[in-house]
């Protein structure tokens, strides 16, 4: 086996635990989901970490980037481009403008919390 193949095999072997993990979804009343999500927010963790805390399971110690996500369709980019008066193909600029709009919105709302 070549050195690069050996490194690759070693890398895959170290990921065996991760490959055995299975994501489990829970369908429950919205009010109950809200409680867990709210506790997660108050604790500064994600819902997954909050569920692991409730179940007394070990936490993943890797730092997580605090981020929000949204999926944007081509139609969404067109709508936003029109709003911002820029070309719909300039997705990086659209993302920058969306970020600025979200920051402005959250800054205005922060006193409510």
Examine the domain organization and report whether 82 and 106 are in the same domain: yes
Q: pLDDT (tens digit, 9 = 90+) per residue, 28-80?
A: 899 999 999 999 999 988 898 999 999 999 987 776 677 788 999 999 999 99
* Helix spans in 21-88 (H): 30-43, 47-54, 74-84
- Residue 14 located in a structural domain: no
For the question of whether the overall pTM of this predicted structure is more than 0.85, the answer is no
- Residue 29 located in a structural domain: yes
Half-sphere exposure of 29 (CA within 13 A, CB side): 3
- Residue 9 located in a structural domain: no
Count of domains observed in the chain: 2
Examine the domain organization and report whether 80 and 59 are in the same domain: no
- Residue 5 located in a structural domain: no
Tell me which residue range forms the domain holding 37: 20-63
Looking at residue 106, its pLDDT comes to: 92
pLDDT band at residue 7 under the 50/70/90 scheme? low
Examine the domain organization and report whether 82 and 56 are in the same domain: no
Are 52 and 40 in contact, with CB atoms under 8 Å apart?
no
């Amino acid at each position: 086996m070549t050195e690069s193949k050996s490194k690759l095999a070693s890398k895959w072997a170290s990921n065996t635990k991760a490959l055995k993990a299975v994501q489990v979804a829970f369908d429950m009343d919205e009010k109950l989901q809200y409680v867990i999500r709210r506790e997660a927010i108050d604790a500064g963790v994600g819902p997954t970490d909050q569920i692991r805390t409730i179940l007394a399971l070990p936490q993943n110690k890797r730092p997580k980037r605090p981020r929000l996500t949204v999926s944007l369709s081509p139609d969404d980019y067109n709508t936003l481009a029109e709003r911002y008066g820029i070309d719909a193909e300039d997705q990086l600029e659209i993302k920058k403008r969306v970020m600025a709009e979200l920051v402005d919105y959250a800054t205005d709302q922060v006193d409510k919390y």
